[in-house]
Homo-oligomer: A and B are copies of this chain.
Amino acid sequence: MYTIRDIARLAGVSVATVSGVFNNKPTVKPALVERVKKAMAALDYHPDQVARSLRLRRTCTVGMVIADVTNPFFTDVIRGVEKEAQSNGYSVILCDANEDPGLERHYLSTLFSRRVDGVLLAPTSSPSVQESHIHKRFPIVLIDRIPLGFAGDAVMTDNFSAAYDGTRHLIELGHRQIAIITGQLNLSNGLDRLDGFRKALQEEHLALPDKYLQRGDFQLESGYQCGLELMRLPMPPTAIFSCNNRMTLGLMRALGELHVHCPEAVSVLGFDDFEWSAYFTPRLTTIAQPAFEMGRQAMQILLRKLQAPAENNGIADEIPKTTVRLKAELRVRDSTAAPASVHEVQKENATLEISH
Protein backbone atom coordinates (compact mmCIF):
# COMPACT_ATOMS: atom_id res chain seq x y z
CA MET A 1 0.00 0.00 0.00
CA TYR A 2 1.49 3.30 -1.08
CA THR A 3 1.34 6.52 0.90
CA ILE A 4 1.49 10.17 0.08
CA ARG A 5 5.20 9.98 0.81
CA ASP A 6 5.79 7.42 -1.93
CA ILE A 7 4.07 9.69 -4.41
CA ALA A 8 6.04 12.70 -3.21
CA ARG A 9 9.32 10.83 -3.65
CA LEU A 10 8.39 9.47 -7.08
CA ALA A 11 7.23 12.87 -8.30
CA GLY A 12 10.17 14.64 -6.67
CA VAL A 13 8.04 17.01 -4.61
CA SER A 14 7.00 17.38 -0.99
CA VAL A 15 4.04 15.66 0.60
CA ALA A 16 2.34 19.01 1.02
CA THR A 17 2.42 19.49 -2.71
CA VAL A 18 0.95 16.07 -3.33
CA SER A 19 -1.80 16.80 -0.85
CA GLY A 20 -2.39 20.09 -2.62
CA VAL A 21 -2.86 18.29 -5.91
CA PHE A 22 -5.67 15.97 -4.95
CA ASN A 23 -7.34 18.67 -2.93
CA ASN A 24 -7.36 20.93 -5.97
CA LYS A 25 -5.41 23.68 -4.29
CA PRO A 26 -5.05 26.34 -6.99
CA THR A 27 -1.61 27.33 -5.74
CA VAL A 28 0.19 24.28 -7.11
CA LYS A 29 1.99 24.84 -10.41
CA PRO A 30 0.46 22.98 -13.37
CA ALA A 31 3.75 21.29 -14.16
CA LEU A 32 3.90 19.81 -10.68
CA VAL A 33 0.25 18.81 -10.81
CA GLU A 34 1.06 16.88 -13.94
CA ARG A 35 4.04 15.10 -12.41
CA VAL A 36 2.10 14.20 -9.28
CA LYS A 37 -0.87 12.87 -11.21
CA LYS A 38 1.42 10.73 -13.30
CA ALA A 39 2.99 9.27 -10.18
CA MET A 40 -0.43 8.59 -8.67
CA ALA A 41 -1.64 6.78 -11.75
CA ALA A 42 1.56 4.76 -12.00
CA LEU A 43 1.12 3.29 -8.53
CA ASP A 44 -2.73 3.07 -8.59
CA TYR A 45 -2.54 5.39 -5.62
CA HIS A 46 -5.73 6.62 -4.01
CA PRO A 47 -5.48 8.90 -0.95
CA ASP A 48 -6.35 7.10 2.26
CA GLN A 49 -9.78 8.40 3.25
CA VAL A 50 -9.41 6.92 6.70
CA ALA A 51 -6.43 9.11 7.50
CA ARG A 52 -8.14 11.99 5.78
CA SER A 53 -11.30 11.51 7.84
CA LEU A 54 -9.33 11.44 11.06
CA ARG A 55 -7.59 14.63 10.20
CA LEU A 56 -10.61 16.47 8.79
CA ARG A 57 -13.06 15.14 11.37
CA ARG A 58 -15.42 14.30 8.56
CA THR A 59 -15.96 10.92 6.92
CA CYS A 60 -18.21 11.84 4.01
CA THR A 61 -20.23 8.80 4.98
CA VAL A 62 -23.82 8.60 6.12
CA GLY A 63 -25.67 5.77 7.77
CA MET A 64 -29.02 4.54 6.60
CA VAL A 65 -31.03 2.54 9.09
CA ILE A 66 -34.09 0.88 7.62
CA ALA A 67 -36.64 -0.87 9.80
CA ASP A 68 -37.37 -3.45 7.13
CA VAL A 69 -35.28 -3.69 3.98
CA THR A 70 -37.31 -6.65 2.75
CA ASN A 71 -40.18 -4.34 1.93
CA PRO A 72 -39.70 -3.48 -1.74
CA PHE A 73 -40.88 0.02 -1.03
CA PHE A 74 -37.54 0.74 0.58
CA THR A 75 -35.57 -0.47 -2.40
CA ASP A 76 -36.55 2.67 -4.24
CA VAL A 77 -35.93 4.84 -1.20
CA ILE A 78 -32.45 3.40 -0.93
CA ARG A 79 -31.80 4.02 -4.58
CA GLY A 80 -32.78 7.65 -4.18
CA VAL A 81 -30.51 8.06 -1.19
CA GLU A 82 -27.65 6.27 -2.86
CA LYS A 83 -27.86 8.31 -6.03
CA GLU A 84 -27.93 11.64 -4.23
CA ALA A 85 -25.11 10.54 -1.92
CA GLN A 86 -22.90 9.31 -4.73
CA SER A 87 -23.22 12.49 -6.75
CA ASN A 88 -22.11 14.48 -3.72
CA GLY A 89 -19.15 12.29 -2.85
CA TYR A 90 -20.80 10.53 0.04
CA SER A 91 -20.95 6.82 0.78
CA VAL A 92 -23.86 5.06 2.44
CA ILE A 93 -23.61 2.42 5.14
CA LEU A 94 -26.78 0.34 4.99
CA CYS A 95 -28.24 -1.12 8.19
CA ASP A 96 -31.22 -3.46 8.37
CA ALA A 97 -32.90 -3.01 11.76
CA ASN A 98 -35.37 -5.78 10.98
CA GLU A 99 -38.12 -4.01 12.98
CA ASP A 100 -36.09 -4.67 16.13
CA PRO A 101 -35.68 -1.56 18.34
CA GLY A 102 -32.70 -3.16 20.07
CA LEU A 103 -30.94 -3.70 16.78
CA GLU A 104 -31.81 -0.20 15.69
CA ARG A 105 -30.20 1.21 18.80
CA HIS A 106 -27.17 -0.98 18.24
CA TYR A 107 -26.77 0.29 14.70
CA LEU A 108 -27.05 3.88 15.79
CA SER A 109 -24.19 3.27 18.21
CA THR A 110 -22.09 1.52 15.58
CA LEU A 111 -22.63 4.38 13.16
CA PHE A 112 -21.61 6.81 15.85
CA SER A 113 -18.39 4.86 16.43
CA ARG A 114 -17.72 5.02 12.74
CA ARG A 115 -18.20 8.76 12.90
CA VAL A 116 -20.68 8.96 10.06
CA ASP A 117 -21.53 12.56 9.31
CA GLY A 118 -25.26 11.94 9.59
CA VAL A 119 -27.99 9.35 9.56
CA LEU A 120 -31.14 8.63 7.61
CA LEU A 121 -33.58 6.62 9.66
CA ALA A 122 -36.84 4.82 9.02
CA PRO A 123 -37.54 4.20 12.70
CA THR A 124 -38.95 1.04 14.24
CA SER A 125 -42.07 1.13 16.35
CA SER A 126 -40.27 1.79 19.59
CA PRO A 127 -38.12 4.57 18.37
CA SER A 128 -34.68 5.45 19.62
CA VAL A 129 -35.10 8.84 17.98
CA GLN A 130 -37.11 9.92 20.96
CA GLU A 131 -33.98 9.67 23.09
CA SER A 132 -32.31 13.05 23.11
CA HIS A 133 -28.74 11.82 23.47
CA ILE A 134 -28.95 10.20 20.03
CA HIS A 135 -29.34 13.64 18.52
CA LYS A 136 -26.17 14.85 20.16
CA ARG A 137 -24.25 12.28 18.15
CA PHE A 138 -25.13 13.36 14.62
CA PRO A 139 -27.85 14.99 12.57
CA ILE A 140 -30.72 12.67 11.73
CA VAL A 141 -33.34 12.86 9.04
CA LEU A 142 -36.31 10.54 9.35
CA ILE A 143 -37.74 8.77 6.35
CA ASP A 144 -41.24 7.46 5.68
CA ARG A 145 -42.49 7.61 9.26
CA ILE A 146 -42.17 9.65 12.41
CA PRO A 147 -43.13 8.84 15.98
CA LEU A 148 -46.12 10.68 17.40
CA GLY A 149 -45.17 14.18 18.43
CA PHE A 150 -41.73 14.06 16.85
CA ALA A 151 -40.35 17.47 15.93
CA GLY A 152 -37.36 17.14 13.70
CA ASP A 153 -36.33 16.74 10.09
CA ALA A 154 -38.29 14.23 8.11
CA VAL A 155 -39.40 13.30 4.61
CA MET A 156 -42.46 11.20 4.07
CA THR A 157 -45.56 10.72 1.99
CA ASP A 158 -48.50 12.95 2.83
CA ASN A 159 -50.27 9.88 4.13
CA PHE A 160 -53.31 11.75 5.36
CA SER A 161 -54.11 13.28 1.97
CA ALA A 162 -53.21 10.09 0.15
CA ALA A 163 -55.62 8.03 2.25
CA TYR A 164 -58.24 10.74 2.03
CA ASP A 165 -58.04 10.91 -1.77
CA GLY A 166 -58.08 7.15 -2.10
CA THR A 167 -61.12 6.84 0.12
CA ARG A 168 -62.89 9.57 -1.83
CA HIS A 169 -62.28 7.52 -4.95
CA LEU A 170 -64.15 4.63 -3.32
CA ILE A 171 -66.97 6.90 -2.17
CA GLU A 172 -67.33 8.44 -5.60
CA LEU A 173 -67.69 4.98 -7.09
CA GLY A 174 -70.78 4.70 -4.90
CA HIS A 175 -69.43 2.69 -1.96
CA ARG A 176 -71.05 3.27 1.43
CA GLN A 177 -69.81 0.24 3.34
CA ILE A 178 -66.07 0.74 3.35
CA ALA A 179 -63.67 -1.11 5.59
CA ILE A 180 -60.02 -0.47 6.36
CA ILE A 181 -57.13 -2.73 7.28
CA THR A 182 -54.66 -0.54 9.14
CA GLY A 183 -51.07 -1.09 10.17
CA GLN A 184 -49.58 -0.30 13.57
CA LEU A 185 -50.80 3.05 14.79
CA ASN A 186 -47.86 4.27 16.84
CA LEU A 187 -45.96 5.75 13.92
CA SER A 188 -47.21 8.41 11.54
CA ASN A 189 -47.49 6.20 8.48
CA GLY A 190 -50.09 3.96 10.11
CA LEU A 191 -52.01 6.64 11.96
CA ASP A 192 -52.18 9.29 9.23
CA ARG A 193 -53.60 6.79 6.77
CA LEU A 194 -56.37 5.89 9.18
CA ASP A 195 -57.06 9.54 9.90
CA GLY A 196 -57.33 10.44 6.22
CA PHE A 197 -59.68 7.52 5.73
CA ARG A 198 -61.85 8.63 8.65
CA LYS A 199 -61.99 12.20 7.44
CA ALA A 200 -63.31 11.16 4.03
CA LEU A 201 -65.97 8.99 5.65
CA GLN A 202 -67.04 11.65 8.12
CA GLU A 203 -67.44 14.26 5.42
CA GLU A 204 -70.03 12.02 3.81
CA HIS A 205 -71.55 11.05 7.15
CA LEU A 206 -70.66 7.44 6.50
CA ALA A 207 -70.47 5.16 9.50
CA LEU A 208 -67.35 3.19 10.36
CA PRO A 209 -68.59 0.17 12.32
CA ASP A 210 -66.04 -1.29 14.72
CA LYS A 211 -65.85 -4.44 12.67
CA TYR A 212 -64.92 -2.43 9.58
CA LEU A 213 -61.81 -1.13 11.31
CA GLN A 214 -59.41 -4.03 11.23
CA ARG A 215 -56.06 -3.50 12.83
CA GLY A 216 -53.22 -5.28 11.05
CA ASP A 217 -49.46 -4.93 11.45
CA PHE A 218 -48.29 -4.26 7.88
CA GLN A 219 -47.41 -7.94 7.43
CA LEU A 220 -48.97 -10.25 4.86
CA GLU A 221 -50.54 -12.61 7.37
CA SER A 222 -52.45 -9.82 9.09
CA GLY A 223 -53.94 -8.69 5.78
CA TYR A 224 -55.04 -12.26 5.20
CA GLN A 225 -56.67 -12.64 8.62
CA CYS A 226 -58.36 -9.25 8.54
CA GLY A 227 -59.61 -10.00 5.03
CA LEU A 228 -61.18 -13.27 6.15
CA GLU A 229 -62.81 -11.58 9.09
CA LEU A 230 -64.24 -8.76 7.01
CA MET A 231 -65.75 -10.94 4.30
CA ARG A 232 -67.29 -13.32 6.80
CA LEU A 233 -69.27 -10.55 8.47
CA PRO A 234 -73.06 -10.80 8.16
CA MET A 235 -72.86 -7.51 6.32
CA PRO A 236 -69.46 -7.50 4.56
CA PRO A 237 -68.06 -4.23 3.20
CA THR A 238 -68.33 -3.44 -0.51
CA ALA A 239 -64.87 -1.90 -0.52
CA ILE A 240 -61.68 -2.40 1.47
CA PHE A 241 -58.77 -0.03 1.88
CA SER A 242 -55.57 -1.93 2.69
CA CYS A 243 -52.86 0.23 4.23
CA ASN A 244 -49.75 -1.34 2.68
CA ASN A 245 -48.48 -3.62 -0.06
CA ARG A 246 -47.98 -6.77 2.01
CA MET A 247 -51.38 -6.66 3.65
CA THR A 248 -52.93 -6.17 0.23
CA LEU A 249 -51.33 -9.44 -0.89
CA GLY A 250 -52.77 -11.17 2.18
CA LEU A 251 -56.15 -9.64 1.53
CA MET A 252 -56.16 -10.86 -2.07
CA ARG A 253 -55.33 -14.34 -0.89
CA ALA A 254 -58.24 -14.24 1.56
CA LEU A 255 -60.61 -13.13 -1.19
CA GLY A 256 -59.37 -15.93 -3.42
CA GLU A 257 -59.92 -18.57 -0.78
CA LEU A 258 -63.41 -17.32 -0.03
CA HIS A 259 -64.18 -17.14 -3.77
CA VAL A 260 -65.11 -13.51 -3.38
CA HIS A 261 -64.63 -11.82 -6.71
CA CYS A 262 -62.87 -8.51 -6.97
CA PRO A 263 -64.08 -5.97 -7.99
CA GLU A 264 -67.56 -7.47 -8.59
CA ALA A 265 -68.21 -8.44 -4.99
CA VAL A 266 -65.74 -6.16 -3.26
CA SER A 267 -63.42 -3.37 -4.36
CA VAL A 268 -59.83 -3.29 -3.15
CA LEU A 269 -57.67 -0.19 -2.82
CA GLY A 270 -54.10 -0.80 -1.75
CA PHE A 271 -51.45 1.53 -0.39
CA ASP A 272 -48.07 1.19 -2.21
CA ASP A 273 -47.60 0.57 -5.88
CA PHE A 274 -45.05 -1.74 -7.45
CA GLU A 275 -43.84 -3.30 -10.63
CA TRP A 276 -46.30 -6.12 -10.24
CA SER A 277 -49.40 -4.11 -9.29
CA ALA A 278 -50.43 -3.82 -12.91
CA TYR A 279 -49.96 -7.56 -13.47
CA PHE A 280 -52.37 -8.84 -10.93
CA THR A 281 -55.77 -10.17 -11.83
CA PRO A 282 -57.48 -7.84 -11.35
CA ARG A 283 -54.93 -5.11 -11.94
CA LEU A 284 -54.68 -3.37 -8.58
CA THR A 285 -55.83 0.15 -7.91
CA THR A 286 -53.14 1.60 -5.65
CA ILE A 287 -51.80 4.67 -3.97
CA ALA A 288 -48.25 5.10 -5.23
CA GLN A 289 -45.71 6.67 -2.90
CA PRO A 290 -42.82 8.62 -4.45
CA ALA A 291 -40.23 6.37 -2.86
CA PHE A 292 -37.22 7.31 -4.96
CA GLU A 293 -37.93 11.01 -4.50
CA MET A 294 -38.34 10.45 -0.78
CA GLY A 295 -34.84 9.03 -0.54
CA ARG A 296 -33.40 11.76 -2.71
CA GLN A 297 -34.92 14.60 -0.74
CA ALA A 298 -34.02 13.08 2.61
CA MET A 299 -30.39 12.91 1.55
CA GLN A 300 -30.55 16.49 0.26
CA ILE A 301 -31.83 17.75 3.59
CA LEU A 302 -29.13 15.85 5.40
CA LEU A 303 -26.45 17.28 3.12
CA ARG A 304 -27.76 20.76 3.79
CA LYS A 305 -27.47 20.18 7.52
CA LEU A 306 -23.92 18.93 7.08
CA GLN A 307 -22.97 22.11 5.30
CA ALA A 308 -24.25 24.19 8.21
CA PRO A 309 -21.54 26.11 10.14
CA ALA A 310 -19.18 23.85 12.01
CA GLU A 311 -19.86 25.25 15.48
CA ASN A 312 -23.31 23.75 15.68
CA ASN A 313 -22.56 21.03 13.15
CA GLY A 314 -26.19 20.56 12.22
CA ILE A 315 -26.97 19.21 15.65
CA ALA A 316 -27.93 22.30 17.57
CA ASP A 317 -31.54 23.27 17.97
CA GLU A 318 -31.10 26.64 16.29
CA ILE A 319 -31.26 25.07 12.86
CA PRO A 320 -34.83 25.10 11.60
CA LYS A 321 -36.41 21.70 11.19
CA THR A 322 -37.66 20.62 7.82
CA THR A 323 -40.60 18.30 7.36
CA VAL A 324 -41.39 17.44 3.78
CA ARG A 325 -44.63 15.69 2.88
CA LEU A 326 -44.64 14.37 -0.68
CA LYS A 327 -47.82 13.86 -2.63
CA ALA A 328 -48.80 10.31 -3.46
CA GLU A 329 -50.50 9.36 -6.70
CA LEU A 330 -53.74 7.41 -7.00
CA ARG A 331 -53.45 4.83 -9.77
CA VAL A 332 -56.91 3.64 -10.69
CA ARG A 333 -56.90 0.21 -12.28
CA ASP A 334 -59.37 -2.67 -12.17
CA SER A 335 -59.64 -3.71 -8.52
CA THR A 336 -62.01 -0.86 -7.71
CA ALA A 337 -65.43 -0.49 -9.32
CA ALA A 338 -68.90 0.62 -8.42
CA PRO A 339 -70.58 -1.66 -5.88
CA ALA A 340 -73.11 -4.22 -7.12
CA SER A 341 -76.10 -2.16 -6.02
CA VAL A 342 -74.91 0.84 -7.99
CA HIS A 343 -74.36 -1.36 -11.00
CA GLU A 344 -78.04 -2.22 -10.80
CA VAL A 345 -79.03 1.40 -10.58
CA GLN A 346 -76.78 2.29 -13.50
CA LYS A 347 -78.28 -0.50 -15.56
CA GLU A 348 -81.74 0.73 -14.72
CA ASN A 349 -80.82 4.25 -15.72
CA ALA A 350 -79.38 2.96 -18.95
CA THR A 351 -82.57 1.05 -19.64
CA LEU A 352 -84.66 4.10 -18.91
CA GLU A 353 -82.60 6.21 -21.28
CA ILE A 354 -82.89 3.65 -23.99
CA SER A 355 -86.65 3.43 -23.54
CA HIS A 356 -87.04 7.15 -24.08
Q: Which residues of A contact B (CB under 8 A)?
A: 1, 44, 46-51, 53-54, 57, 59, 61, 69-70, 72, 75-76, 78-79, 82-83, 86, 91-96, 107, 109-110, 112-115, 133, 136-137, 220, 246, 249, 252-253, 275-276, 279-281
Provide the residues of chain B in CB contact with A115, threshold 8 Å. Answer: 48-50
Chain B residues in 8 Å Cβ range of A96: 78-79, 82-83, 86
Residues of B within 8 A of A70 (CB): 75-76, 79
Mostly, the A contact residues are helix
Expressed in whole angstroms, the minimum distance between the Cβ of A333 and any Cβ of chain B is 13
| Chain B residues with CB under 8 A of A92 | 93-94
Which B-chain residue is minimally distant from A44 (CB atoms)? B133
Closest to A59 in B: B50
The 5 A-B pairs with the shortest beta carbon distances in the complex, nearest first, are: A281-B281, A94-B94, A46-B113, A49-B113, A276-B276
Give Cα A253–Cα B114 distance, bound, in whole angstroms. Answer: 47
Expressed in whole angstroms, the minimum distance between the Cβ of A329 and any Cβ of chain B is 19
Contact of A252 among B93, B137, B279 (CB under 8 A): B279
A285, chain B: closest CB distance, angstroms = 15
A21 to chain B, nearest CB (A): 15
Chain B residues whose CB sits within 8 angstroms of the CB of A79 once the complex forms: 69-70, 96
A sample of 24 inter-chain contacts (CB < 8 A) reads A44-B136, A44-B137, A46-B113, A48-B113, A49-B114, A51-B54, A54-B54, A72-B75, A75-B75, A86-B95, A86-B96, A86-B107, A91-B93, A91-B114, A92-B93, A92-B94, A93-B94, A94-B94, A246-B275, A249-B276, A249-B279, A252-B279, A253-B279, A280-B280
User: Closest residue of chain B to A96, judged by CB?
Assistant: B82
A46 CA to B79 CA in the complex, in Å? 30
Please indicate the chain B residues that have their CB under 8 angstroms from the CB of A69 in the complex: 75, 78-79, 82
Complex contact A50–B114 (CB within 8 A): yes
Which of A47, A50, A78, A91 neighbours the largest number of chain B CB atoms within 10 Å of its CB? A50
Is B113 within 8 A of A47, CB to CB? yes
Give the complex CA separation of A83 and B100 in angstroms.
13
Contacts of A47 in B (CB 8 A): 113
**Bound-state Cα–Cα, A133 to B45, Å:** 11
Which of these, B51, B82, B276, contacts A94 with CB under 8 Å? B82
Q: Assess the A112–B46 pair: CB atoms within 8 A.
A: yes
Q: How far is the CB of A25 from chain B (nearest CB, A)?
A: 18
The answer to whether B50 and A109 touch across the interface, beta carbons within 8 angstroms, is: no
